[in-house]
């Protein structure tokens, strides 16, 4: 009880970290950061396999100590089949608001070999900012290759890492 009161009145900020991986497969659409990117391969998964939005959702849930994306949106549930991950982000934002948290900022890094995503970064920032109720400057998205090393380098998969800061409302 004391801890709950202490948390509510004195614990102003909380950090969260998320990571996600998806295989890349022929014949799938590539969705990253809520944006469709033309490419011969796309993320393989139960949902639209948006690796960046999933990492951000996990970071948000982690910051609020609400478990992970698999608990809230299980891939065994047919209602999440091919779901647009922007809906998952929206629902995650609602979950943290219910806990009296507000997103301050996001920092994220994508690891993929191909395609170059720099031309799409601003659109991703705008998309995520709109859903999350922040401004574009609060959504940092960086990208790197792995210099042809490992599964990312062989274009078999993609990774996203995200860190978020929440503050109590």
Q: Which is nearer to Zn ion, 63 or 89 (CB)?
A: 89
Q: How far is the CB of 163 from Zn ion (least distance, A)?
A: 17
Q: Which is nearer to Zn ion, 41 or 54 (CB)?
A: 54
Query: Interaction with Zn ion in 74-103: which residues (CB under 5 A)?
Result: none
Per rule CB under 5 A, is residue 20 in the interface with Zn ion?
A: yes
Distance CA 111, CA 113 (A): 7
Q: Which stretch binds Zn ion (CB under 5 A): 54-62, 96-104, 125-133, 152-160?
A: 54-62
Q: Which stretch binds Zn ion (CB under 5 A): 20-28, 101-109, 142-150, 160-168?
A: 20-28
| Angle at CA of residue 46, ends 80 and 109, nearest 5° | 105
Q: Could you tell me how many residues of this chain bind Zn ion (CB under 5 A)?
A: 2
Query: Under 8 Å CB-to-CB from 7, ≥6 apart: which residues?
Result: 168
Q: How far is the CB of 54 from Zn ion (least distance, A)?
A: 3
Distances (CA, A) of 18 to 6, 37, 124: 26, 22, 17
- List the one residue out of 146, 143, 147 whose CA is nearest residue 122: 143
- The radius of gyration of the chain from alpha carbons, rounded to an integer in Å, stands at 16
- Cβ 35 vs Cβ 43: under 8 Å: no
Q: Which stretch binds Zn ion (CB under 5 A): 14-22, 30-38, 70-78, 133-141?
A: 14-22
When binding is defined by CB under 5 A, the residue of 28, 41, 54, 86 that contacts Zn ion is 54
Q: Which is nearer to Zn ion, 14 or 54 (CB)?
A: 54
Tokens at 147, concatenated: 């210099």
Q: How far is the CB of 134 from Zn ion (least distance, A)?
A: 22
């Amino acid at each position: 009880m004391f801890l709950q009161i202490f948390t509510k009145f004195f614990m102003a900020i909380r950090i969260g970290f998320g990571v996600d991986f998806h295989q890349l497969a022929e014949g799938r659409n590539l969705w990253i950061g809520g944006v469709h990117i033309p490419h011969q391969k796309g993320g393989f998964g139960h949902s639209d396999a948006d690796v960046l939005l999933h990492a951000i959702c996990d970071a948000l849930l982690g910051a609020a100590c609400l478990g992970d994306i698999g608990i809230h949106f299980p891939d065994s549930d047919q209602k999440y089949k091919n779901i647009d991950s922007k809906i998952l982000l929206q629902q995650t934002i609602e979950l943290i608001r219910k806990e009296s948290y507000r997103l301050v900022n996001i920092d994220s890094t994508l690891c993929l070999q191909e395609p170059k995503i720099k031309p799409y970064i601003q659109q991703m920032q705008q998309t995520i900012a709109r859903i999350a109720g922040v401004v574009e400057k609060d959504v940092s998205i960086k990208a790197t290759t792995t210099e042809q090393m490992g599964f990312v380098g062989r274009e078999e998969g993609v990774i996203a890492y995200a860190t978020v800061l929440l503050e109590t409302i």
